[in-house]
Chain A
Amino acid sequence: MTSFSSGADGERAYLCVQDLSKVYATHDGPVRALEQVSVRARRGEFLSVLGPSGCGKSTLLMIAAGLLRPSSGAVSIDGALVTRPRTDIGIVFQSPVLLEWRTALGNVMLQAEAKKLERTAARRRARELLSSVGLSGFEDKYPHELSGGMRQRVSLCRALIHNPNQLLMDEPFGALDALTRDQLVLDLQQIWNERRMTVLFVTHSVPEAVFLSDRVMVMTPRPGRVDRMIDIELPRPRTLAMRETPEFASYVREILDLFLARGILREH
């Protein structure tokens, strides 16, 4: 059993989101995407944000990356306020966002070029990363020659080559088939296990969130608020078989009950 405490109050938080609200001005009037969201994450913690579509979870991630400005409230990293795009992170979107004119290796190297890493060492590292997610032999393939799962793996490698402090993932496996998805979840767990970077993982898959996380933050439908924080106290590393255990099922049950109570799910 892990000894993770439910909050980060005792120790200094790495990521600190304080009273965050985001309102979008649209043609149909203002839309409240986030309302008074506060959350803290410890260094090395795997935190999932789980909620229905449109609950503002992607907005939260974009604000945490410094790519969007909050309407009110603030995000701080290690006590420093986030006011512009953070470059110390790795980011993975739902689509792989690869440059079509670069090979798999070239796409991973884009991050290295941005960080001005030493070229030879970076190339070696990029190859290692690619092979660690089962892409050795595909380094010189262009994105259109790769499957969806392979492309997302390249995207993951690109987010990791500079050893980021934090990994931000916005529904990264949402567009993949179930089997590929399982494999990537296992790959991600392995990578996290080796490096223990702080992860903010946005998803709408309940089992995925339970399987990967130290804590799951369940959000309400729009406007997104924190509904419940759930500590996942399953031993690590987690295995596929663990998904069939009563403990796992009870976490899933808890979240589904919450969704039923909020009217996100309906059992007719």
Chain B
Amino acid sequence: MAETENPLAQSQGVDIAELEARMEGSRARRERRARFRQILYPFGVVIGLLVVWEAGTRILDVPAFLLPPPSAIAVSFIANSSLLLFHGWITTAEILLGFALSIIVGIPLALAIFVWPAFSRSILPLLVSSQAMPKVAVAPLFLVWFGFGLLPKVLIAFLIAFFPVVINTAVGLASIEPEKIYLARSMGFGAITTFFKIRLPNALPAIFGGLKISITLAVVGAVVGEFVGGDAGLGYLLMVANGSMDTQLLFAGIVALTVLGVALFLLIELAERLALPRHIIAGDKAIRDAA
């Protein structure tokens, strides 16, 4: 190759420190832009859909009881905000009680399954078949047994939500490198210390995975309970709105339920981040890598 065409000759004049600074600057810019896009894109899509919806219903003159425009839903949402808040509170209480019950029952159950093979063998088939059974079908039965109050809704929410807690906890506890247990024994840890220092922290990511599924299922359970027989709660409000053809309110209720579900999910995710500091690191790293 001729010397004048040697591409290396040009690069010899570049100051490496300056190059580093330039690369660092462009990396920081790229990251800022990526973060911005991460927020902008989903918002853009939602706003775009709402505009199309609004325009479509107006141009095609769709009757409001079939599909109200978003603006009408927003108006209804604000007008009925105290109603939504009142019923939302009740549903939230049902969800949280059902979810709490899932944890209180699910985690000890998983522990028993884990430490006691005979129990696991006798209870697991029952558990699995209880999940195959459609819970909606049991809801009327609960109504007969426990009346119209809070209890049947809490129980239905629990019945739907506890299964992932049990399975994820049991799997989390069982899936551990055998070397970690050998190590614990050779260090002189007893069974209880091994559990709290090694097994339980090892299972926490799986347990939180189960809790995140569980909280969304608890929302479904509570609403199903209210559908079947309730005199309060967002599910009941949906039924009332439906019966009076108030589709705006129906949509407002659905929006409220969605916001509630997402908020509760984020709450669990926050708890996860507080309990597992390394997850933040891993999550940040994944975002950086993706960017």
Contact = CB atoms under 8 A, between A and B. Distances in A.
Contacts of A97: 177, 179-180, 183
Nearest to A112: B187
A144 B201 CA distance: 16
B186 A99 contact: no
A86 B198 CA distance: 19
B116 interface: no
Most chain B CB inside 10 Å of its own CB: which residue of A89, A114, A144, A145: A114
B43 interface: no
Contacts of B278: 100-101, 142, 144
Nearest to A67: B182
A115 B187 contact: yes
A91 B182 contact: yes
Contact of A89 (B184, B186, B189, B193): B186
A99 B177 contact: no
B282 interface: yes
Interface residues of B, number: 22
Interface string A10-39: 000000000000000000000000000000
A87 B177 contact: no
A59 to B, nearest CB: 13
Contacts of B177: 95, 97
B185 interface: yes
A232 B246 CA distance: 91
A144 B282 contact: yes
Interface in B160-186: 177, 179-180, 182-186
Contacts of A101: 201, 204, 276-278
B187 A87 contact: yes
A65 B186 contact: yes
A89 B282 CA distance: 34
A76 interface: no
Interface string B185-222: 11111000100011001101000000000000000000
B179 A67 contact: no
Given A101-B276, A144-B278, A91 B186 contact: yes
A203 B180 CA distance: 20
Contacts of B189: 114
Contacts of B281: 142, 144-145
Contact of A114 (B180, B187, B276): B187
Interface in B201-250: 201-202, 204
Given A91-B182, A93-B183, A142-B278, A99 B198 contact: yes
A115 B183 contact: no
A67 B186 contact: yes
A83 interface: no
A165 interface: no
Given A101-B278, A110-B197, A142-B281, A85 B183 contact: no
Given A100-B278, A101-B201, A144-B278, A86 B186 contact: yes
Nearest to A143: B278
Contacts of B180: 97, 99
| Residue from the set A89, A101, A111 with the largest chain B CB neighbour count within 10 Å | A101
Interface in B263-278: 276-278
B188 A115 contact: yes
A113 B187 CA distance: 9
A113 B177 CA distance: 21
Contacts of A206: none
Interface in A85-119: 85-87, 89, 91, 93, 95, 97, 99-101, 110-111, 113-115
A210 B278 CA distance: 41
12 contacts: A65-B182, A67-B182, A67-B186, A87-B188, A93-B179, A93-B183, A99-B180, A99-B198, A110-B197, A113-B197, A114-B188, A144-B278
Which 9 A/B pairs are nearest by Cβ-Cβ distance?
A87-B188, A114-B187, A85-B185, A97-B179, A93-B179, A91-B186, A114-B188, A67-B182, A101-B201
Given A110-B187, A145-B281, 9 more contacts: A62-B182, A85-B186, A93-B179, A95-B177, A97-B177, A97-B183, A101-B277, A114-B187, A142-B278
Interface of B: 177, 179-180, 182-189, 193, 197-198, 201-202, 204, 276-278, 281-282
